[in-house]
Amino acid sequence: MDTIARRDKRILALQRRMSFLFFPIVAPTALFWLRVIKRLSVRDADIVRARFAKLVEAEPGPILICSNHLTLLDTVILVWALAPLHTYLWHYSRFAWSVPEKTNFSTWFWRVASFLGKCVYVTRGGPREEVKRTLGKIAYLLESGELVSIFPEGGRSRTARVDTENFAYGVGQMVQVVPETKVLCVYMRGRKQEGYTDYPHTGDEYSVALEMLAPTTSATGLRGARDLATQIIRKLAEMEVAYFDRERSGRPSRA
Amino acid sequence: MEHQETFDKVIGIIKPFVKNTDKLAGADQNTRLLEDLGVNSARLVDIVLAFEDEFDIAIDDEAADRVRTLGDAVTVIQEQKQ
């Protein structure tokens, strides 16, 4: 992968520093909204967080977090679910960078919030040079030991299930640019979440399951990207089946 | 391969990906895949890979980017076959 421009490296370094500085303000605000206003909870949170820490510590190489996607706040819920917020101060690289669609952040408030929330924008279907630049930033972050999280479906699932038909292949390109990348698949769902929504349902309880995947392919180019993306989506779909099996059986989540 | 023959094969390949099937019947060289035929942008990759398989060619990323209309698709395929 081509190295990214020095300017981009400086901006990412500045963004990380600013995000860290403002974390003591932003994180409790987000936590207040999640816990008090929305009354959300994570089932077996201690187990989920212990498993996340164990998986991340066991993996010395780059890690890309791939999650299913049903609400606009999934990125925030993911950060909260995976670790107690104060622990990010000691392991700030575990506060994953996100790769949201640029057009979703049109107001200055959301621009600032996303900057402090470690977001790197992507323009879906944008010019090749811009996509390459974004991929370069992601590769740089992964190689620097930062976690990066994306939603491999390319958007909130309109079917309320992991979309195994109409998913994007961008995640495959990300794995291609840093081939040693491991993928931490996260299946996350509120019990009240029957379809896709803007915001999570008030009082909802989230189940979170984690599995590490090492996708590989002998194919290159677009074919390789499709192959890698398909493996990740299939894993999430498997985790979804396991989630509904657990729900039907009434057994609790064990991350 | 004749231009019209390639065009007909392209129509056959993209058919499963087209949402606006009524537009496909009257499609011509200027018909746009995304805007006119309602093809999902994420599926353009599948279409390009299907072209590679059907015509036994390799289409690089830059050429794939140029495929916006049915005419573009025919042009790219014929370029790669030469």
Q: Which residue in chain B has the smallest CA separation from A154?
A: B42
Q: Which residue in chain A has the smallest CA separation from B43?
A: A166
CB A192 within 8 A of CB A201: yes
At A104 the pLDDT is 79
How many A×B Cβ pairs under 8 Å? 26
At A1 the pLDDT is 53
Chain A residues touching residue B65 (CB < 8 angstroms): 128
Please name the residues between 27 and 66 in chain B that touch chain A, using a CB distance below 8 Å.
40-43, 45-46, 48-49, 52, 60-62, 64-65
Q: Which residue in chain B has the smallest CA separation from A126?
A: B65
Chain A residues touching residue B48 (CB < 8 angstroms): 222
Choose among B42, B48, B49: nearest Cβ to A166: B42
Choose among A128, A221, A225: nearest Cβ to B65: A128
CA–CA distance, A21 with A206 (Å, rounded to integer):
29
Residue B62 and residue A168: Cβ atoms within 8 Å? no
Specify the residue for token string 């064990």.
A254
Mean pLDDT in residue range B51-67: 90
Choose among B42, B62, B64: nearest Cβ to A167: B42
Chain B residues touching residue A167 (CB < 8 angstroms): 42
Q: What is the pLDDT of residues A188-215, one digit of tens each?
A: 999 999 888 899 999 999 999 999 999 9
pLDDT string in tens for chain A (255-residue length):
557 899 999 999 999 999 999 999 999 999 999 999 999 999 999 999 999 999 999 998 999 999 999 999 999 999 999 999 999 999 999 999 999 988 878 889 989 999 999 999 988 777 778 888 999 999 999 999 999 999 999 888 888 899 998 888 989 999 999 999 999 999 999 999 988 889 999 999 999 999 999 999 999 888 999 999 999 999 999 999 999 999 888 766 555
At B51 the pLDDT is 96
Residue A168 and residue B60: Cβ atoms within 8 Å? no
Q: How close is the nearest chain A Cα to the Cα of B49, in Å? A: 7
Comparing C-alpha atoms, which of A199, A245, A222, A242 is closest to residue A77?
A: A199
Residue A222 and residue B41: Cβ atoms within 8 Å? no
Residue A168 and residue B42: Cβ atoms within 8 Å? yes
Choose among A124, A154, A222: nearest Cβ to B48: A222
Q: Which residue in chain B has the smallest CA separation from A225?
A: B45
Tell me the two tokens of residue A167.
Answer: 């998913």
Chain A residues touching residue B46 (CB < 8 angstroms): 226
A interface mutation test: which of B61, B68, B76 has the most A CBs within 10 A? B61
Q: Where are the alpha helices (H) located in chain B, listed in sequence order? A: 3-14, 21-25, 44-55, 61-65, 70-81
At A6 the pLDDT is 92
- pTM > 0.95: yes or no: no
Pairing mode, if any, of strands A182-190 and A205-213? antiparallel
Choose among A125, A168, A222: nearest Cβ to B64: A222
> Cβ contacts of residue A54 below 8 Å, gap of 6+?
none
Q: What is the pLDDT of residues A11-41, one digit of tens each?
A: 999 999 999 999 999 999 999 999 999 999 9
